[in-house]
Amino acid sequence: MAFLRIKGGGWLVGYGPFEERAEPPVSGVAFYRNDFGLSDPLPWKVPARVEELAAMPGGAGDVPVVEWEAPSGDDFAEVFGEVVMKIGEGVLEKSVPVVTERGVLRCGSGRDFLGTLNELPTALRGYGWINGEESFVGSTPEELFQLKDGILTTMALAGTARSEDQGVFEVDSKEIREHEYVAGSLVGKLSDIGMVQRQPRRVMNLGPLVHFETPIRVELYRPEGAGELIRHMHPTPALGPLPRTGETMELLHDWRTRLGCPRWFGAPFGVWREGELTVLVAIRMVVWQGDNVYLPSGCGVIDESRLVNEWRELRLKRDSVKELFQIS
């Protein structure tokens, strides 16, 4: 099963078996599921049946209880030090290591994570993929892009703080600089394919967390293929390295692997529907395989970053996901 929350309310749900394709169909519905490295040559999954639901059906009604194992601060500190070193050498301006908290389900099943999807704030887009192997469910505030009638809309989303610290956050030079790295890089990338209109930076308030957001609209110079656009846009500057080169991507993949990051975290996930394409950035997710549960969170590291602050931000993000999905 694949599903995605539709803007304005409701859910688009696809049921298997799925036909796997290299390109989306000319008409109908196809879900896009790939890993962070875009290694799947057949990422378009055409469902056998599709329905639009007002509300997502949940699991058995149990509250998932997970016995968590704290992630290693030493492992993160080692990777953080390497990122800072590469910044000092001029190889990087920014990168995004990901720490993953692991756990074991002691009550309920993975499907019970679906029980809270209908209670998500409207600013979050619920999504998920469930099969007999590795499944995930998430609630992301970030769109990679939406494409309709030659107009691409997207956003720069970077910078994080607790809602109670919003006043300080709005003038925090480190958070502003991190966001402007992302927004500027995104505008530069999009200028190659269309006329770009950038709106002013603003604060997105998601309850426990606030982020900086910059909406961006692009009028494409020419028609672009769905797969080509995804490869052009992914990874977002918020989750990828700056600059994005073969070397810096290899470094990021190495750091993600060493810290045990699930391959789905930060990957594009979306739906093609009658020529309209919506692709989300798969963050704020829970991944499970049997009774094993994985909860990843990432942080943008720049030259002003400090180890303790980033470690605190990583936990803040994971705790917000636990709260969203009512995981104890």
Mean pLDDT of 74-90: 97
The two tokens of residue 327 are 């995981």
- Spell out the alpha helix ranges (H) of the chain: 73-88, 166-169, 173-190, 226-233, 246-258, 307-324
- Number of structural domains in the chain: 1
pLDDT at 59: 54
Between the CA of residue 237 and those of 128, 169, 174, 182, 231, what are the distances in Å? 23, 20, 16, 5, 13
The distance of Cα 79 from the centroid of its chain, to the nearest Å, equals 21
Helix axes 73-88, 246-258, angle to 10 degrees: 170
**Residue indicated by tokens 């480190």:** 174
Q: Do residues 299 and 95 lie in contact, with contact meaning Cβ atoms separated by under 8 Å? A: no
Q: Report how far Cα 88 is from the mean position of its chain's Cα atoms.
A: 28
State the average pLDDT for the chain: 92
Judged against a pLDDT cut of 80, whether residue 193 lies above it is answered with: yes
What is the average pLDDT across 82-90? 96
Q: Is the pLDDT of residue 148 over 80?
A: yes
b/e sequence 148-166, b meaning 16+ C-beta within 10 Å? eeeebebbbbbbbbeeeee
What separation in angstroms does the CA of 224 have from each of 24, 30, 40, 148, 292? 13, 17, 20, 11, 40
Domain that holds residue 68: 2-324
- Which CATH number characterizes residue 111's domain? 3.60.120.10
Residue 232 burial by Cβ neighbours in a 10 Å radius (0-12, 13-18, 19+): middle
pLDDT at site 114:
87
